[in-house]
Amino acid sequence: MEVTINNIRKEFDKFAALNDVSLKIASGELIALLGPSGSGKTTLLRLIAGLDYPTAGQVFFGTEDASHSSVQERNVGFVFQHYALFRHMTVAQNIGFGLKIRPSATRPPKAEIRKRVSDLLDMVQLSGLENRYPNQLSGGQRQRVALARAMAIEPRILLLDEPFGALDAKVRKELRRWLREFHDRTGHTTVFVTHDQEEALELADRVVVMSQGKIEQVGSADDVYDRPQSPFVFSFIGESSHLPVDVRDGTVLFQGEPIGVSEGTNTVGDLFFRPEDVELTDDPHALFGKVTACRRLAGTRIAEIDIANNGHAPFHVEVEVPLHAPIELGSEARFRPTRWKIFPGQK
């Protein structure tokens, strides 16, 4: 099911949690809403589900305007952050709930509900646990029961709020891969909310990066990591450092001095670069500073460098260096970004 969100605005007591958000989700797509807390990602998910109503704007399911449909009418599968399993019902009763409460005209016969529940249990690999209660399950198992329960009603889309938030690191990785396979097998349009960029980049077809109630960028993992379109996306996704620069006559100047980097248009702004897109150099036209710390990171090292700032607090940057590079604490290092982006107007 294709979902279109048009100019959505949501206010809570005059505070705009979402401000003019538009998004098109293709049928069968797996989309991540990524952002820090307070960015409006969960609000957007709840608006799609019909658990909240927008102050302005529309939500379309296919060509149907669902903006004023209730959550029941929208027929969406929603997996809550803390699963919200019914604690007094067994696993099987939880999964069958959405079918059991249907009006008699559309309710499947008991035998069929039982069959559907057992099929779903198979699908989420929990066969044999149907008579357990939620508090007898591990976190990962509860998560999968919640997913099976949401799938039981044959939803038009599947919405997951921080699906792995409450799990430990190992289970989280397993479930992440499992969810990807699950999605590929069922082909449901799926939207999930996360604050974990690794999760979003690894799992989603497209990532929607959000900040302060606005969408900053929508794109594939490569897009948002390699071609960030705003300073927020550059600093939120992956590691990065930034320095205030002037661009004059095609040359980038830092503190009035050329640093061996050129740029097309004249501007005043912030130079962003990632630790891995830096080379060490002897060139006098380069950035230089004092190495204040050195950390081992898997196959490389990260050097933390302080660049003097005329008596003000120094600029702090992080640079990836080869394991055997002659970098020592307290020594001076010269380096130059090999890939960068300048966002104008930031000071």
Partner 1 sequence: MSDNRRTFRSPADEGFFTKLALVALSLVFLAFFLFMPLVSVFVHAFADGWDAYYEALIEPDAWAAIQLTLTVAVIAVPLNLVFGLCAAWAIAKFEFKGKAFLITLIDLPFSISPVISGLVYVLLFGTGSLLGPWLKSHGVEILFAVPGIVLATIFVTFPFVARELIPLMQDQGTGDEEAALSLGASGWQTFWYVTLPNVKWGLLYGVLLCNARAMGEFGAVSVVSGRIRGLTNTMPLHVEILYNEYNMVAAFAVASLLALLALVTLALKTLLELRFGAGAAGGRH
Binding residues for partner 1 (CB under 8 A): 49, 51, 71-72, 75-78, 80, 82-88, 97-98, 101-102, 134-135, 142, 149-150, 152-153
Is residue 5 within 8 Å of residue 33, measured between CB atoms?
A: no
Identity of the residue, 3 or 261, whose beta carbon is nearer to partner 1 in the bound complex: 3
CB of 83 to partner 1, least distance (A): 7
CB of 204 to partner 1, least distance (A): 22
HSE, CB side, 13 Å, CA atoms: give it for residue 264: 2
User: How wide is the angle at C-alpha 32 spanned by C-alphas 26 and 319, nearest 5°?
Assistant: 130
CB of 86 to partner 1, least distance (A): 6
Residue 1 CA, distance from chain mean position: 21
Q: Computed over its alpha carbons, how large is the radius of gyration of the chain?
A: 25
Identity of the residue, 76 or 191, whose beta carbon is nearer to partner 1 in the bound complex: 76
Identity of the residue, 89 or 280, whose beta carbon is nearer to partner 1 in the bound complex: 89
CB of 143 to partner 1, least distance (A): 11
CB of 70 to partner 1, least distance (A): 8
- Tell me the C-alpha distance between 60 and 5, whole Å: 6
- Tell me the C-alpha distance between 160 and 42, whole Å: 9
CB of 278 to partner 1, least distance (A): 46
DSSP string, 210-250: EETTEEEEEE-HHHHHHS--SHHHHHHSS--EEEEEEEETT
- Tell me the C-alpha distance between 48 and 250, whole Å: 47
DSSP code, position 107 = P
Identity of the residue, 51 or 278, whose beta carbon is nearer to partner 1 in the bound complex: 51
Identity of the residue, 140 or 269, whose beta carbon is nearer to partner 1 in the bound complex: 140
Identity of the residue, 125 or 138, whose beta carbon is nearer to partner 1 in the bound complex: 138
Burial class (CB in 10 A: 0-12, 13-18, 19+), 170: exposed
CB of 99 to partner 1, least distance (A): 9
Identity of the residue, 87 or 312, whose beta carbon is nearer to partner 1 in the bound complex: 87
